[in-house]
Chains A and B, each alone.
Chain A
Amino acid sequence: MIELDRAGRSFKVRKNVVHAVRDLSFTVSAGEFVGYLGPNGAGKSTTIKMLCGILTPTSGRVRVAGLDPSRRRTALARRIGVVFGQRTTLWWDLPLADSFELIRLLYKVDRAAFRARLDELTATLDLGAFLRTPVRQLSLGQRMRGDLAAALLHAPEVLVLDEPTIGLDVVSKAGIREFLLRLNAEQGTTVLLTTHDLGDIERLCRRVMLIDHGRLAFDGTLEALMATAPGQATIEDVVTRLYTGGARAQQ
């Protein structure tokens, strides 16, 4: 479903070339739930932006749902759902329901299918109480649920989440995790999740990829990740060790 073959993206910063991502290769199969970890500035967001076609890779090959994202961006948009925890994709001044209707028209979703999907999402994400509220007046938790629904209205095969639980309280977090698990289990949606919340990873991901300095530093199951540091008790300790160790190896 997602394929990267020695993909790289570099930026020119004044006279220097910075490699945000270099020689990154991995494959995610349909129906997988993958956690994508890495310290700040490791290249997580750059990877995600290459997956949705926002950034054109400067080297290598990227395929999502069989398409080259940067060349077939609008075609891919119909098959992929994207949520940025840091910014909304909804229309700030419109009530949530109007944003959804607009998305229906932009994505050309059939009216009956949309109705059914929206009812389902309204129930599972508990949106009923604020469907008529303008997006700017929603709380962060409400907005995030709205954003999730918006990314799923067109029934995408792949869902890419960039820090979806950032800033949420424990109850909202739990609700969103529950929803994502069900989505993956019941509808078989492939999910790629970046987060700094290791609780998300523990609860949700069977497979974990860890990127550091633009390269893949670990790729395996959650158990295998824990096994890299036998003495460590918690995932926080294991990941801290990998982040700092990886940095040392680079130097």
Chain B
Amino acid sequence: MVRTYFLLAWTWTRAAAAYPVSFWLMTLLGVVVAGMDVAVILVVFANTTTLAGFSREEVLFLYGAASLSFTLCDLFVSNIDRVSQHIKAGTLDVFLIRPVSAWLQLATDRFTATRAGRVVQAAVVLGYAVTALGLDPGRLWMLPVMLATGVVIFTALWTLGGALQFVLTDAPEVTNAFTYGGQQLTQYPLAIYGRDLVKAVTYVLPLAFVNWQPGLYVLGRDDPFGTPEFTRFLGPVAAPALALLAALAWRQGIRHYRSTGS
């Protein structure tokens, strides 16, 4: 499956590389646009020393962790949100007659290697924050767990969004609220938001486990909202649960696919 994924991704990359100038410009542009997010954080901290009790490096740490998970998914699975386009164009049929899962084919469809620039940008920010903070080495094991949790959560959200598009064929943008909205939300410490919103993204849509809860553990901080210590470790439970839900929704979507007349 991984082999098939990279095979398809490589095919699209090769097709895109036929236009090298565009390829490199897009990569560069991706880095610049992503850099704006960091610029905003730096501007905020030019005027204050803490944001909701978090220092500049701590905020960059939370931002970097969420961004790295998000950009990895943006690179590898985000094309799944073009389901509705394929439904409308009638091209989804073609994916369904091949002996490879439709999910895998859609995720790699028009794979855009230029998005790798943003992954690098996020990794650099996270790397800087981890070094600058001088974190407790005994807690760093959580870092890979946290990134994996984030990747699973965003992948599940994209899949859910894709599944939803089988129903909401005419309003695919609705699903962006979960994916891109989730990214926007997790860029900052959740402490800046209201209690109800934070409750919702902890217990309903588990975005809090992308970076916030595990991040508090890595940073050795208490939750300003007072969730108990064990909540920091619930990511590896919440993420697979969401992934299961997404997989079931996806299956239902495919089974209820109506195709187009021809």
Interface residues of A (CB under 8 A from B): 11, 41, 45-46, 49, 52-56, 70, 73-75, 77-78, 80, 82, 84, 86-89, 91, 93-94, 98, 102, 105-108, 162
Contacts and interface: CB of A to CB of B under 8 A. Distances in A.
Nearest to A163: B262
Contacts of B18: 93
A55 B259 contact: yes
Given A54-B257, A70-B255, A77-B99, A87 B11 contact: no
B35 interface: no
Nearest to B11: A102
Contacts of B15: 91, 93-94
Given A91-B15, A106-B4, A162-B262, A55 B97 contact: no
B100 A74 contact: yes
Interface residues of B, number: 23
Contacts of A77: 97-99
Contacts, number: 71
Interface string B243-262: 00000000000011111011
A74 B94 CA distance: 12
Point out which of B4, B11, B94, B97 has the most chain A C-beta atoms below 10 A from its C-beta: B97
Given A94-B15, A106-B4, A107-B99, A45 B262 contact: yes
A189 to B, nearest CB: 16
A100 to B, nearest CB: 12
Contact of B261 (A45, A73, A94): A45
Interface in B59-82: none
A55 B262 contact: no
Nearest to B93: A54
Given A87-B91, A98-B11, A102-B11, A54 B96 contact: yes
A87 B96 contact: no
A49 B261 CA distance: 10
Contacts of B53: none
A228 to B, nearest CB: 28
4 A-B pairs with the lowest CB-CB distances in the bound complex, closest first: A77-B99, A93-B15, A54-B96, A82-B97
Contacts of B257: 54-56
A214 to B, nearest CB: 14
Interface in B1-28: 4, 7-8, 11, 15, 18
B101 interface: yes
Contacts of B94: 84, 87-89
Contacts of A11: 258
B29 to A, nearest CB: 21
B90 interface: yes
A128 B261 CA distance: 34
Given A49-B259, A94-B15, A102-B7, A87 B90 contact: yes
A87 B92 CA distance: 11
A53 B255 CA distance: 9
Contacts of A107: 98-99
B7 A105 contact: yes
B255 A87 contact: no
Point out which of B8, B94, B255, B261 has the most chain A C-beta atoms below 10 A from its C-beta: B94
B248 to A, nearest CB: 15
Nearest to A44: B262
30 contacts: A11-B258, A45-B259, A45-B261, A45-B262, A49-B93, A49-B259, A52-B96, A52-B97, A53-B97, A54-B97, A54-B257, A55-B257, A56-B256, A56-B257, A73-B96, A74-B100, A77-B99, A82-B97, A84-B94, A84-B262, A86-B262, A87-B93, A87-B94, A89-B94, A89-B98, A91-B15, A93-B18, A106-B98, A107-B99, A108-B99
Nearest to A83: B97
Nearest to B18: A93
Nearest to B109: A91
